[in-house]
């Protein structure tokens, strides 16, 4: 069997209970050179449980209320079920309880993740090079659950000297088929291999993998581990960017996050908008509540530049005529028209319309007015669903009221039935700039209890 691909993995015994201020690299070096052990060699990879780094770095905190510690470490809640919270922590990791651990620590305390796991890994790598003269890779690990899969596994949250990703795109498989999406999470695979021999209860927080030296970055001295050669990115490279995360809003709890993400966008890129994504948003819109089991929504999709320009030019002319009739100066009119150009900046427009099919007619004006108000409210609910669904598709939007001021013009230009009432227009596209921070609103300020 000589020559076949293989590796060896073993747990490193002899690591004592770690305390604040301990040098983890020296503890590992001492344990690795004990009698009867194979020691460390160039090309080895060490998997180091994050908890011993947390202890050494003083990340043990008093916390009679573990939930408060989770709150402090979390930047957003992704999902919640009973007391369990899946959150994104300040490192960008999405995990249960922000990585706050109440095990293997004295009662009344909790362990927080290392402040910078990549930096922790670099210190261990440098320390082992200085102490033992070896070039090794280091992976800092922590235990994660996984969507759609039962059970836990270790993954990499920090790394140094290791090619954390193996990008196979551009190559071919054994049949000559091009590989267009294959990027292997090498550091996570190493972490899982190490977890098979490590163990919390056994007091074995470090594992060694030998035989995979091709994943270790060449040592270039003091700069090793800080990005030398462009191959040592650290485990941060494993965290998927929000813009590329298809499952960022994947649970019912995350719908609330989509509502938060729904922001008015006034500057758009030139990127084309996927009409399929807009239609999926319309499908969400028409689930809104409506009176009398009606369907009072219609959405006119302006997918061609010609249709958008034709409508906006006609609306502009009607608006200018109205402003002149109101006595505004030409300078003031020009300024207002420029301010309303958000629709022209968008690569895609949608005109939501209200129809009163199925509405009731009453003998008095008061009830007829209330009947229309019900339908208008239903139209607004549909548009809100639409905007939130667009946010879930990673599309920005701006709902402006302009078409409501020239409904006849809109109907004529777009060839709409006489009973379709335009309810504004929605600009859709990719946001060109990040939205400004939104002031926090206290929900209690909008609540009245009787």
Domain harbouring 371, CATH code: 3.40.109.10
162 and 210 in a single domain? The answer is yes
153 and 209 in a single domain? The answer is yes
**Does residue 82 lie in a domain region?**
no
18 and 47 in a single domain? The answer is yes
pLDDT in tens, 154-187: 999 999 999 999 888 777 777 778 777 778 999 9
List the beta bridge partners of residue 248.
Answer: none
**Does residue 300 lie in a domain region?**
yes
Domain boundary among 239, 270, 302: 239
The residue-averaged pLDDT of 103-119 equals 89
**Does residue 429 lie in a domain region?**
yes
pLDDT at 12: 95
Residue 229 has pLDDT above 50, yes or no: no
277 and 234 in a single domain? The answer is no
| Cα separation, 124 vs 325, whole angstroms | 75
Residue 230 has pLDDT above 70, yes or no: no
- Residue pair 263/438 in contact (Cβ under 8 Å)? The answer is yes
More confident residue, 80 or 61: 61
**Does residue 77 lie in a domain region?**
no
pLDDT at 227: 39
272 and 335 in a single domain? The answer is yes
Residue 272 has pLDDT above 90, yes or no: yes
- Residue pair 49/198 in contact (Cβ under 8 Å)? The answer is yes
166 and 125 in a single domain? The answer is yes
Q: Give the confidence band of 261 by pLDDT, cuts at 50, 70, 90.
A: low
More confident residue, 104 or 16: 16
Q: Give the confidence band of 188 by pLDDT, cuts at 50, 70, 90.
A: very high
List the beta bridge partners of residue 204.
Answer: 199
361 and 256 in a single domain? The answer is yes
157 and 191 in a single domain? The answer is yes
| Cα separation, 398 vs 421, whole angstroms | 19
157 and 276 in a single domain? The answer is no
Distances (CA, A) of 190 to 45, 124, 322: 8, 17, 69
233 and 257 in a single domain? The answer is no
**Does residue 66 lie in a domain region?**
no
Q: What share of the chain is helix, strand, coil (3-state, %, to 5)?
A: 40, 20, 40
Give the residue numbers spanning the domain of 294: 252-446
pTM above the 0.85 mark?
Answer: no
Domain boundary among 218, 239, 260: 239
pLDDT at 2: 65
Domain count within the chain: 2
Distances (CA, A) of 278 to 208, 235, 258, 391, 423: 50, 35, 15, 11, 17
Domain boundary among 175, 208, 239: 239
Q: Give the confidence band of 338 by pLDDT, cuts at 50, 70, 90.
A: confident
pLDDT at 223: 46
pLDDT at 228: 36
294 and 425 in a single domain? The answer is yes
pLDDT in tens, 21-47: 999 999 999 999 998 889 999 999 999
**Does residue 142 lie in a domain region?**
yes
pLDDT at 176: 79
Domain harbouring 186, CATH code: 3.30.1330.100
**Does residue 107 lie in a domain region?**
no
Residue 7 has pLDDT above 50, yes or no: yes
pLDDT at 253: 52
**Does residue 89 lie in a domain region?**
no
Burial of 209 (0-12, 13-18, 19+ CB in 10 A): buried
182 and 305 in a single domain? The answer is no
């Amino acid at each position: 069997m000589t020559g076949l691909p293989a590796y060896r993995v073993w747990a490193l015994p002899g690591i004592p209970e770690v305390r604040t201020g301990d040098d983890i690299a020296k503890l590992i070096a001492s344990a690795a050179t004990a009698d009867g052990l194979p020691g460390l060699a160039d090309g080895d990879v060490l998997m180091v449980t994050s908890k011993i780094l947390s202890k050494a770095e003083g990340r043990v905190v008093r916390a009679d209320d573990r939930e408060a510690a989770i709150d402090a470490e979390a930047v957003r809640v992704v999902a919640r079920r009973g007391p369990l919270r899946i959150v994104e922590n300040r490192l960008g990791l999405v995990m249960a309880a922000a990585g706050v651990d109440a095990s293997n620590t004295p009662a009344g305390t909790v362990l927080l993740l290392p402040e910078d796991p990549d930096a922790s890994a670099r210190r261990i790598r440098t320390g082992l090079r200085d102490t033992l003269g070896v070039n090794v890779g280091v992976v800092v690990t922590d235990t994660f659950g996984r969507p759609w899969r039962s059970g836990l596994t270790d993954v990499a949250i920090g790394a140094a000297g290791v090619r954390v990703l193996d990008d196979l795109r551009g190559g071919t498989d054994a049949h000559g088929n091009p590989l267009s999406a294959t990027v292997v999470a090498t550091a996570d695979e190493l972490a899982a291999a190490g977890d098979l021999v490590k163990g919390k209860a056994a007091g074995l927080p470090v594992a060694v993998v030998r035989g995979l030296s091709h994943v270790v970055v060449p040592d270039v001295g003091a700069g090793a581990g800080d990005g030398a050669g462009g191959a040592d990115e650290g485990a941060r490279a494993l965290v998927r960017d929000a813009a590329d995360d298809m499952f960022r809003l994947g649970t019912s709890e995350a719908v609330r996050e989509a509502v938060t993400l729904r922001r008015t966008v006034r500057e758009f890129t030139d990127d084309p908008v996927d009409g399929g994504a807009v239609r999926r948003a319309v499908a969400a819109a028409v689930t809104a509540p409506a009176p009398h089991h009606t369907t009072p929504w219609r959405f006119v999709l302006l997918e061609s530049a010609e249709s958008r320009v034709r409508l906006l030019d006609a609306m502009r002319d009607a608006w200018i005529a109205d402003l002149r009739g109101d006595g505004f100066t030409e300078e003031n009119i020009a300024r207002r028209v420029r301010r309303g150009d958000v629709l022209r900046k968008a690569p895609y427009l949608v005109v939501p319309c209200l129809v009163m099919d199925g509405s009731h007619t009453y003998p008095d004006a008061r009830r007829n007015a209330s009947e229309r108000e019900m339908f208008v409210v239903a139209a607004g609910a549909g548009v809100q669903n639409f905007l939130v669904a667009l946010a879930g598709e990673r599309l920005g939007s701006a709902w402006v009221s302009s078409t409501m001021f020239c409904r006849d013009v809109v109907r004529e230009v777009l060839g709409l039935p006489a009973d379709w009432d335009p309810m504004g227009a929605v600009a859709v596209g990719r946001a060109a700039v990040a939205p400004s921070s939104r002031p926090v609103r206290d929900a209690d300020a909008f609540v009245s209890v009787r």
